């Protein structure tokens, strides 16, 4: 698989995808969205990869939004299609991956960039990061899930203010609002995120995948997350990881999970 807009590396069970259009502050054009889908899918299908880190190339931006030059002349139908296809191909896709995806937000995360970070399972930010949903300043609204995921993360009032003012908040304010889990100096961002990934990797990949699904179902219309939890809790008892985890505990040794 060859990519023009993203870089993929992997080491010791951690896959890293770096959005690589620094001259455009890593803005998401349609080609990049497709490549991100394909890259994430290939890492998710690779059983050796236990955690995926998503970040942006350079020191300035994670992603400065959807590529404005691509949609500036779109019609109503084209606009709706852009949002629908993007949500399906990337934003819903990443949220529902069974492999944990951590956004390492290394600078501006604006519009589609913040929406992408919010679709990841959680976020770590560098201290220079700035986040916002500036879409209404362009006469449009967030279209990649921002009106839904921002209130889930920071509450309705804060989300309304951020969306209506189109303003940016600092990494520290994002931390206080619960939008990012940690803020670290930029030079330490990837190492810190990898340390978190290593802690996740000690645990059962099967159980983690089922936990992601159960948490996500809390936010799905017409789906009872408690029922999903019961079902997935039960399913864990039929896995090798469960046998290994409980046996290792009783034998007072570290579990060696195989992910099945």
Strand 101-105 and strand 122-126: the pairing is parallel
With respect to ligand COA, which residue has the nearer C-beta, 66 or 169? 66
Nearer to ligand COA, 66 or 94 (CB): 66
Q: Which of 70, 77, 135, 229 is catalytic?
A: 135
Q: Cβ 28 to ligand COA, closest distance in Å?
A: 8
Q: How far is the CB of 8 from ligand COA (least distance, A)?
A: 23
Q: Phi and psi dihedrals of 145, rounded to 5? A: 95, 0
Pick 39 or 113: Cβ nearer ligand COA: 113
* Dihedral angle of Cα 30, 178, 218, 95, to the nearest 10 degrees: 20
Catalytic pick from 57, 115, 172, 244?
115
- 88 catalytic per annotation: no
Q: How far is the CB of 80 from ligand COA (least distance, A)?
A: 15
Three-state DSSP class for 179? coil
Q: Which residue ranges make up the site for ligand COA (CB under 6 A)?
A: 24-25, 27, 64-69, 108, 110-112, 134-135, 138
Label the pairing between strands 130-132 and 108-110: parallel
Are the C-beta atoms of residues 210 and 235 closer than 8 Å to each other? Answer: yes
Catalytic, 78? Answer no
CA-closest candidate to residue 240, choices 260, 218, 224: 260
Which residues does the annotation mark as catalytic? 115, 135
């Amino acid at each position: 698989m060859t990519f023009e807009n993203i870089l993929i590396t992997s080491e010791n069970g951690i896959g890293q995808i770096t959005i690589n259009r620094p001259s455009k502050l890593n803005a998401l054009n349609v080609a990049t969205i497709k490549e991100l889908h394909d890259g994430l899918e290939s890492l998710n299908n690779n059983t050796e990869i236990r955690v995926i880190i998503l970040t942006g190339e350079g020191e300035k931006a994670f992603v400065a939004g959807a590529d404005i030059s691509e949609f500036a002349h779109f019609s109503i139908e084209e606009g709706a299609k852009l949002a629908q296809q993007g949500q399906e191909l990337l934003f819903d896709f990443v949220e529902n991956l069974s492999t944990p995806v951590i956004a390492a937000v290394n600078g501006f995360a604006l519009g589609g960039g913040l929406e992408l970070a919010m679709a990841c399972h959680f976020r770590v930010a560098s201290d220079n990061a700035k986040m916002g949903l500036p879409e209404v300043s362009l006469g449009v609204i967030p279209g990649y899930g921002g009106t839904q995921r921002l209130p889930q993360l920071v509450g309705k009032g804060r989300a309304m203010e951020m969306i209506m003012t189109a303003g940016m908040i600092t990494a520290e304010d994002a931390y206080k609002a619960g939008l990012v889990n940690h803020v670290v100096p930029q030079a330490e961002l990837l190492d810190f995120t990898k340390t978190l990934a290593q802690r996740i990797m000690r645990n059962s990949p099967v159980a983690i995948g089922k936990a992601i699904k159960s948490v996500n179902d809390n936010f799905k219309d017409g789906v009872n997350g408690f029922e999903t939890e019961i079902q997935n809790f039960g399913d864990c008892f039929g896995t090798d990881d469960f046998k290994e985890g409980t046996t290792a505990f009783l034998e007072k040794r570290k579990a060696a999970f195989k992910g099945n």
